[in-house]
Amino acid sequence: MGWDYLGIILAVCAILCAIGFYKFVYFLSIGYGFAVAGGGITLLIIAIMNGWTERVLWLALIQTTLFLAYGIRLSAFLLIREIRNMAYRKTLKEATGNEKRMPVFVLVMIWVFVSVLYTAQLSPMLYRYMNGNKDILIPLVGVGISFFGFVLEVIADSQKTAQKKENPDMVATKGLYRIVRCPNYFGEIIFWTGVFISGVTAYKGIGQWLIAIIAYICITFIMFNGAQRLEKRQMARYKDHDEYNNYVDSTPILIPLLPIYHLNKQ
C-alpha cells in the first residue's frame, strides 16, 4: 500500500493547506492548490529517490508539471480574485459565513479530511511508479485528459472574469458558458478523471483501487455540491431576471449535453 509514502505526502498536503486555519474556506480553495502542487513535487522526489523512474522519468516530470501548473494557477487565480474583487469577497462571506470564527475542533476535522482527500487524489501517480509499472500508453492518455480539463478551467475562469467586468449584474452566458453553466467545475472533474485513468494499469490490490476510486468519487461529489451551492446563490440574486431564467432552463448545469438543468428545487 505504501503507507509510509502516503504519510509523507499527507504531511506535505496538511502543511500546505493549513492556511485554512486563517480562513476555513482556504482549506478548499487556495490551500487545495498549494497541496496539489506540493504533493506533486513530493511524489516526484519520492519516485526519483527510490529509483522508480528508470526509463519513465520524462513521464513523471510531465505529470508533476501538470500538478504544479494546476495547483499554482488555481491558488494564484483565487488569491488575486479575492484581493482585487470586493464583490467577490462579499459573495464569499455570504456563501461561507466566514466572518464568524469556527470552533477549533471543527477546523481540525476539516483540515484532516481535506489533507487525506488531497493525498488520495494524488495517489494514482504514486502507485504507478511505486508498483514499477512501465506502461506509458494509459498514463499518457490520462495526462492528455487532465491537460484538457486544465485548459477548460483556465478558459472558463478567463471568460467569466471578462464577462463579469462587462456585465456585473448577470451571470456569464457566452463562450463555454453557452454549453454548460459551470465549465470550470466540469474541467475540474475532467482533470481528475485523467489522473484516475493514468493509474488504472498500475493499481495493485483492493486497497489501492479503493483509495483511488473513493478520492475520484469525493472530488466529483464536491463539484456537484459546489455547482448546487452556486446555483442557489444565483437563484437568490437573479431569480426575477427573465434572461437568467431562460438561460438556466436551457443550459445544463455541470455536464454538457446531459439534460440536468437544476440541482435545487425550483
Quick check: 91 pLDDT over 90? no
pTM exceeding 0.95: no
Q: Tens of pLDDT along 163-213?
A: 988 998 899 999 999 999 999 999 999 999 999 999 999 999 999 999 999
Q: Residue 123: its pLDDT value, please?
A: 98
The Cα 161–Cα 145 span in angstroms is 25
Q: Residue 134: its pLDDT value, please?
A: 85
Summarize the confidence of residues 44-72 as an average pLDDT: 96
- Indicate the pLDDT class of residue 82, thresholds 50, 70 and 90: confident
Place of cell 512501465: 134
Summarize the confidence of residues 234-250 as an average pLDDT: 92
- The mean predicted confidence, pLDDT, of the chain is 92
Quick check: 57 pLDDT over 90? yes
The Cα 24–Cα 163 span in angstroms is 28
Better-scored residue on pLDDT, 126 or 23 = 126
Alpha-helical regions (H) of 17-85 = 30-49, 57-84
Q: Residue 69: its pLDDT value, please?
A: 98
CB neighbourhood size of 218 (10 A): 17
The Cα 168–Cα 155 span in angstroms is 19
Quick check: 90 pLDDT over 80? no
